[in-house]
Amino acid sequence: MSSLHAVVVVPARYDSQRFRGKVLAPIGGKPLIQWVYQRAARAQLVDRAWVATDSEQVRDACLAFTEDVWLSESEHASGTDRVAELAREVRAEIFVNVQTDEPMMDPELVDALIRLMEAENLDFASAVAPIRGMDDFLDPNVVKVVCDAAGDALYFSRAPIPWPRGSELAPGAPWPQDLRAWKHIGIYGYRREALLRLAEIPRSQSEITESLEQLRVLDQGWKMRILEWDYEGIGVDTEADLEKLRKYINTVDIKD
């Protein structure tokens, strides 16, 4: 296989801890994984896109809409490790991991992340969107991010960070006027060699505690640049999220 510049990989584990079989859940006549893959693959700077799965059932479903399906080992601890397995065999400079939580992924965000990595020669990058309501801020399924002045991630957490001292933190409470908080969007960019190094490192304690794979990068003292993006996608972590997305899709025209 000839060397590629930038590729997308959608890691799709069937036995998701929070929502088993989520990747094949039907939405508007298509499985969730098809929404994620087709939208990410529309990015103009992407040379090729794969689904990487440990499930023959998922592989067979994906072959209905793409030939680029990688049947990976089953014991991977995270999507990052699954992408790294493919990266050992595929020569590309930049790998973009789009998580199956993001069926409304913006193809322009994929391109913007690739451009950022190219322009600043970054090993790791990801993206965030502003949090505008207390319910998202308190939801452990909405991952929060705090960055330094250079735009590199300081920490990711399921807890509400930064903590607005003196404000009321309760569902439905008013948003603190001076609070700027950011939620993580399920997308990562890696340089190939950096990704392969990362996959050789054991899971860090904070990664295990928070169940957030990106913390392995920070625990090594490595930098992950964060791209701010005005993104209103509906992430699917629970069956309630799935129903919310189904209702939304029935009211709007979303291109594949």
pLDDT at site 18: 61
pLDDT at site 16: 64
pLDDT at site 19: 63
pLDDT at site 172: 86
The answer to whether the beta carbons of residues 123 and 191 sit under 8 Å apart is yes
Please report, for the chain, the start and end positions of each structural domain, with discontinuous segments joined by +.
4-163+173-249
pTM, to two decimals: 0.91
pLDDT at site 244: 81
What's the CATH architecture for 4-163+173-249? Alpha-Beta Complex (3.90)
pLDDT at site 115: 98
Give per-residue burial for 99-128: e unless 16+ CB within 10 Å, then b.
bbbbbbbbbebbbbbbebbeeeebbbbbbb
Residue type, 201: I
Q: Work out whether strand 144-147 and strand 225-228 pair parallel, antiparallel, or are unpaired.
A: unpaired
Compute CA 56 distance to the chain's CA centroid, rounded to the nearest angstrom.
Answer: 22
- Report the chain (256 residues): mean pLDDT per 10 consecutive residues: 84 74 87 94 97 93 96 83 94 96 92 98 98 94 96 98 90 90 97 97 95 97 97 77 78 53
**Residues contacting residue 228 through CB under 8 Å, at least 6 positions apart:** 127, 128, 129, 130, 182
Residue type, 176: P
Euclidean distance between CA atoms 183 and 21, whole angstroms = 25
- Burial class from Cβ neighbours inside 10 Å (0-12, 13-18, 19+) for residue 20 reads exposed
pLDDT at site 52: 95
Q: How far is CA 17 from CA 13, 20, 21, 22, 72, in A?
A: 9, 6, 10, 10, 18
Condensed to tens digits (0 to 9), the pLDDT of residues 24-76 reads 988 888 999 999 999 999 999 999 999 999 999 999 999 999 999 999 886 78
pLDDT at site 252: 54
